[in-house]
Amino acid sequence: MSSNIADIALVMDQSSQSSRQKTQLDIIIERARSGDAVAFDQIMIAHQQRVMATAWRMLGNREDARDAAQEVFLRLYKHLHKYDAQQEFSGWLYRIIINVCRDAARKRKNYHSSFEAEIEAGHLPELISHDNSEDAAIKVEQQAIVIKALSTLTEKERAVIVLRDLEGLTTEEVAQILGSSPTTVRSQISTARTKIKVYRDRFLKGGQRQS
Amino acid sequence: MNCKKAAQLIPLFVKADLEIDEMQPIMKHLEACDSCRCVAKEFQASQSLLHSFALPEFDEADFFQIRSAVLEKIARPRISDLITPVLNWKTAFAASFAMIVLSSGIVIYQRIPAENIVVKVPEFSEAIDQNTNFIFPVSAKFKRRPVTRQQIPKPRSGRNSIAQGEASARERNPGKDSEYQTSPERAIATDNAFNEKSVAANAANKFSTNVPRADALGYMLTPAPQAGNVAENLPEPEMLRMEIQTADPNIKIIWLMPQEPTNTQADHK
């Protein structure tokens, strides 16, 4: 019984904390809307990591991700007056990120070569590690598999995998961000996961044959 | 649930993306089927591989650079940013539509010859400059079937009014009254004009030997007096000639009517 009460108290605390944060965010957004650059800078600081990470996962290139992040913040500022306080800010932001990344990907049209260039440039975290142990080599190999597997996906499939599996959003949230139905998103997730698994299997079988 | 159906659901099962009612049957199937359980494990392995996909390290310098660039651009907006709100799809469509309408209007206007410009004549009895040509498109007022030559009443002496001409035509063709009907206003106006303004010439049968002419609508019009038939002491009445071009190029309405009598004419009266 006491544990139940504690749980309820925790939930209430979390919800009140969340609402308090939301209120603070709303105030900052309101200030940014009225042209307060400091307030907008605060919004950027709060979301820069998420924006860069999603953009990099979508585009597979640091330079492109940086440009995309810049464009995301510019669009955010431009359309800030359209933001409805009733909806989730992060969901709205994800939608902008995905749209910007789609535009960037259409201009560039090659995810695979982009990741290859990234590996060659030594920007991947495991590659810049100075640890030459066996674990580091395995991690590098895993990164390469994931990169190549992601490069086999279509733009929409990559978006759903990034949002659902890497960013950890729910299927409904992903559907809302991408403007599709949850059924469509589930179908795309299923296809994308199957493709990744097939690529992984093929890679492992090839490795076994080589050894 | 069979293996085929399970193979479709396993990719979603590994991260609990299935509906609640689908979860229970697939779990039961996986407990019973070794091959499907193996497939599910492979999917889970690929998921864990995906989660090992680490992000590169973004340092604060990168973020600072991005934020500075954004704030700078916000402070100095691009020209495209200023134009874009105005040039959205709606305004672009409206502008292009207006351009099409305007250009087509100009083209149509340039194609109309100057003489086809409609001149509205308020009243027929009003004084109109001599030799003025009016070219009308067919309006409701002039929409009448043109009378053929056979239907036009033969010219006779003394038939110098429209009403008389029509009466004569009706006498000869009683079944085709409608073809000889004129609008009452027009007949009265024209007759009045003739009666009042053709002066004493008509009354004295000055033009009795002249051949009256009929216009395309069958109106009997008194012709312009010929010099030999007019009494020498009377001045020749000036006739006002008015041409009306209908939309049909073959139909042209010629209208003759005497002009206002001059002082000299009035004196002779």
Q: What is the band of A137 on the pLDDT scale with cuts at 50, 70, 90?
A: confident
- Beta-bridged to residue B240, according to DSSP, are B257
Taking chain B, what is the end-to-end CA distance rounded to the nearest angstrom?
A: 119
B207 with B229: CB under 8 angstroms? Answer: yes
Contact residues on chain B for A78, CB-CB shorter than 8 A: 81
Looking at the predicted complex, does its ipTM rise above 0.85? no
Give the range among B58-72, B172-186, B210-224 with minimum mean pLDDT.
B210-224
Q: Smallest Cβ distance to A165: which of B8, B50, B58?
A: B50
Nearest CA to A91 among A181, A176, A186, A188?
A176
Q: Which residue of A has its CA nearest to B59?
A: A49
Q: What pLDDT is recorded for position A72?
A: 94
- pLDDT reported for residue B207: 43
pLDDT tens by residue, B76-87:
766 666 666 666
Q: B39: nearest CA in chain A?
A: A197
Alpha carbon B221 to chain centroid distance? 37
| Identity of the highest mean pLDDT range in A12-21, B153-162, B242-251 | B242-251
More confident residue, B108 or B219: B108
| DSSP classification of residue A34 | T
- pLDDT, average across residues A174-185: 92
What was the pLDDT predicted at B135? 47
Confidence grade of residue B138 (pLDDT, cut at 50, 70, 90): very low
Tell me the two tokens of residue A33. 């809307």
Range among A16-25, A89-98, B51-60, B77-86 rated most confident:
A89-98
Chain A residue numbers touching B69 (CB-CB < 8 A): 70
What one-character DSSP code corresponds to residue B14?
Answer: T
Give the pLDDT of residue A173: 92
Average pLDDT over residues A112-119: 58
Of A86-90, A164-168, B6-10, B139-143, least confident by mean pLDDT is B139-143
Q: Please calculate the CA angle B126-B132-B133 and round it to the nearest 5 degrees.
A: 115
Contact between B214 and B220 under an 8 Å Cβ cutoff? The reply is yes
**CA B40 distance to own-chain centroid:** 70
Paired with B214 in beta bridges are B220
The residues, any chain, with a CB within 8 Å of residue B42's CB and separated by 6 or more, are A197, A200, A201
The band of A45, judged by pLDDT with boundaries at 50, 70 and 90, is: very high
pLDDT in tens, A155-177: 899 999 999 998 889 999 999 99
**What sign does the CA torsion over A48, A148, A173, A181 have?**
positive
The predicted structure's pLDDT at residue B180: 47
HSE-up (13 A, CA, CB side) for residue B227: 0
Residues of B with CB under 8 A from a CB of A: 8, 11-12, 14-15, 17, 42-43, 45-47, 49-58, 62-63, 65-67, 69-71, 73-75, 81
**Per-residue pLDDT tens over the stretch B77-135:** 666 666 666 667 788 888 899 999 999 998 888 877 665 555 555 554 444 444 444 44
Cβ-Cβ contacts under 8 Å between A and B: the total is 109
Q: From CA B223, how far away is CA B198, in angstroms rounded? A: 11
Answer yes or no: do B53 and A124 touch at CB < 8 A: no
Query: What pLDDT does B52 receive?
Result: 77
- Give one word for B131, left, alpha or beta, with left for phi > 0 and alpha for psi -120 to 50: left
Q: Indicate the average pLDDT of chain B.
A: 66
Nearest in space to B125 (alpha carbons), one of B187, B184, B219, B193:
B193
What's the pLDDT at B262? Answer: 56
The percent of residues above 90 in pLDDT, for chain B, comes to 3
Mutate to test the interface with B, among A79, A123, A126, A165 (most CBs of B within 10 A): A165
Tell me which of B134 and A108 has the higher pLDDT.
A108
Tokens of B63: 């973020």
Band of residue B23 on the pLDDT scale cut at 50, 70, 90: confident
- Segment A204-211 mean pLDDT: 61
Q: In the structure, what pLDDT confidence band is assigned to residue A11 with cuts at 50, 70 and 90?
A: very low
Greater model confidence, A10 or B116? B116
Q: Which residue of B has its CA nearest to A63?
A: B62
Cβ count near B213 (within 10 Å): 15
Instruction: Identify the three-state secondary structure at position B252.
Output: strand
Could you report the per-residue pLDDT of B167-208, keeping only the tens digit for each?
Answer: 555 566 555 544 444 455 555 555 555 555 554 444 444 444
Asked if residue B18 has pLDDT above 60, the reply is yes
Beta strand residue intervals within chain A, DSSP E: none
Residue B131 · residue B180 · CB < 8 Å: no
- Contact at CB, B54 and A125, closer than 8 angstroms: yes
Alpha carbon A29 to chain centroid, angstroms: 22
The whole-number pLDDT of residue B113 equals 67
Q: How confident is the model at residue B140 (pLDDT cuts 50, 70, 90)?
A: very low
Alpha-carbon distance A171 to nearest alpha carbon in chain B (angstroms): 7
Residue A171 is predicted with a pLDDT of: 92
Q: Residues near B68 by Cβ (< 8 Å), separated by ≥ 6?
A: none
Residues 6+ apart with CB under 8 A from A194: B11
- Report pLDDT for B186: 55
Grade residue A62 by pLDDT with cuts at 50, 70 and 90. confident
* A196/A203 Cα distance (integer angstroms): 10
A89 Cβ contact list (under 8 Å, min separation 6): A22, A25, A29, A83
Q: Does A41 touch chain B (CB under 8 A)?
A: yes
Q: Which amino acid is at B237?
A: P
Residue type, A68: A
Write the CB contacts of B133 (distance below 8 Å, at least 6 apart in sequence): B115, B242, B243
Whether residues B46 and A193 touch (CB distance < 8 A) is answered with yes
Residues of B in contact with A149 (CB under 8 A): 46, 50
The stretch A96-107 carries a mean pLDDT of 89
Q: Give the residue with greater pLDDT, A115 vs A15.
A: A115
How far apart are alpha carbons A70 and B69 in whole angstroms?
Answer: 7
Question: Has residue A123 got a pLDDT over 60?
Answer: no
The pLDDT score that the predictor gives to residue B258 is 75
